[in-house]
Structure 1
Amino acid sequence: MSPRRAPVDRAPNQNDVARVAGVSAQTVSRVMSGQSNVRPETARKVLNAVEELGYRVHAAAASLASGRTRILGVIVLSTNRYSTAALGVGIERVAADNNFTVTTASVSDHATIEDILAAFDRLERQGAEGVILGVPVSLDHPGMRARTERTPSTRNVRVSPEEDAAFAVDQTEVARLAVEHLLDLGHETVWHVSGDEYWTESVQRRETWERVLREHGIEPPPVIPADWTSESGYRAGRTIAAIPGATAVFVSSDEMAFGVIRALHEAGRRVPEDVSIVSVDDIALAAYASPALTTVRQPFEEVGAAAARRVIAEIEDTEPLGDVPRIEPTLILRSSTAPPSLHQD
């Protein structure tokens, strides 16, 4: 005789799963919450019953029963930048692997510390057990210090070169790879299209560009400011097109580089024959630009995944992760750079 099913007018519950599996409701709860103190054969019985009945855990009910929400909060800028989306992919993947869900609080560009504190508070009210700070914020602020002391948190953005952010990519290495590649090709100097200086990563890239040029005995040319958008890159490209001696440009993001290339093309300046370009990020479209972009890859998914693992380990009070693995940028060589000999007709 087959096990008695749940009445057709209601969804199956934990007691139904226990009855079909021949175990207690407490055992079902342990299996569904991922606890390890259940024998493998018993866990298989429970999971088979779950599949047979189509049982699904109700998040709110599970939270009430366990006192846990298993929610991971993330604070990000309200932007369509590739980095934000890619970080989210890494965070979501690790969260799902550990039976967490992710909720996001967005703040506007150039958000104040008060905006970020309010976003942190929203996540706590929604039940976030830990928070990943994907915005440039100092942990020395009293309000932020109080929140990070009561709620497990980590950052993947540095506020200053001196401050620690466990999973931030080394932006000095990003810029050094880009600038030295162009100098190694034989270019006499390198111009720079900067990102929005609200971001420490933009400041660090600019400062490193200046330092590398001076290390080679080159006085840096004027910075060409931009704001991460393709439109600002286009405006910067028009400026570069009007500089006859500009043969090499370090652009602080792929998206801006698309705009630079468009402006150079309209002005009759060829890439890389007339102007070589190195950018940053290695977004998916970088390989399909015309020409394909030489760029410094930032492993955003790895950064997000590492940050999520750190916060979840702190929430679960598991063994420390040990030394933080160094997340390295990588120079991806494509078709937008060439030796200066190609700039001669």
Structure 2
Amino acid sequence: MSASGLPFDDIRDLVANMPKADRKAVHAKREREAQLTKPAGSLGRLEDLSEWVASWRGSATILRPLVAVFAGTHGVTKQNVSPYPSEVTQQMVSNFAAGGAAINQICATYDLGLKVFDLALEYPTGDISVEPAMDEKTCAATMAFGMEVLAGDPDLLCLGEMGIGNTTIGAALYCALFGGEPAEWVGPGTGLDEEGLRHKAEVVGRALETHKGHLRDPLEALRRLGGREIAAMAGAIVAARTQRVPVIIDGFVATAAAAVLYKMDPSSLDHCLFAHVSAEPGHMKALAAMDKVPLLALGMRLGEGTGAALAAGIVKAACQCHTGMATFEQAAVSTKAG
């Protein structure tokens, strides 16, 4: 798809016409699973993970896993919602390129590809507390840009982000999409104290008041309250579905991108796995609102796709167990009596 931009109506059409899981592949996977040298169900959720991959790829095989990290800057940082300055976003992108970040180490450990996307970092989005983050053209074009991540033909896509201020953006989106009070959704982000949390909730409240009456449509909520990295991740999720690529969603902010699509159509996330529950307190609330069960709970809240990359290592292991394990017949192992 072209990165020149898609109007929201075209995005809605893509979401409405997403392909379904491959039931024949699931059946074939289960038949082989029953013949492997282990008691039925003994690998627990690993068996579910390999089946999930097979249901979208046609087989439980991962050869080209990719972690995509989208970086954006936010006008709302003018409201002092983070203890770190906005410049840290660009500095961390440079750190990714130099191989010095946590995500670089995890990708190296599990042999995962890594691409980092700089989303016009010199041009922050609008300050959502007083104006829309983006106009429709910019939001749609950014979603289309996110779709381009599939150009390298990955067979597993892990989504992460970097952006000072984006936990404020995520909290505002969750509040708009799922309701509740701002204080229920905001968290410490990069290290706010109690007073900082109260201020952050107040900023989110002002943003919701500024845009009230315009937030029923999830895409309109995205363009008014979101960020470029969130829009790009939403586009990547849609493109992955059209190309039958399973997706692993990272933490609090990445899940906000998925939540936009969930509110459009809950089945739009059937190809997605939620990697972990973040230490950011609103994340579990968001997962519960979508009836999603995270794979891991490690007390992480770094972002960068780190949780998604860790989950990818487990998914790769699950698929290798399924494809590489011998059957009872191949190993000359007796099946249970009777």
Task: Confirm or deny a common fold (TM above 0.5).
Answer: no
Q: Which TM-score tier does this pair reach, normalised by the shorter chain? A: under 0.3
| More strand by percentage | 1
Normalising by structure 2, we get a TM-score of 0.26
| More helix by percentage | 2
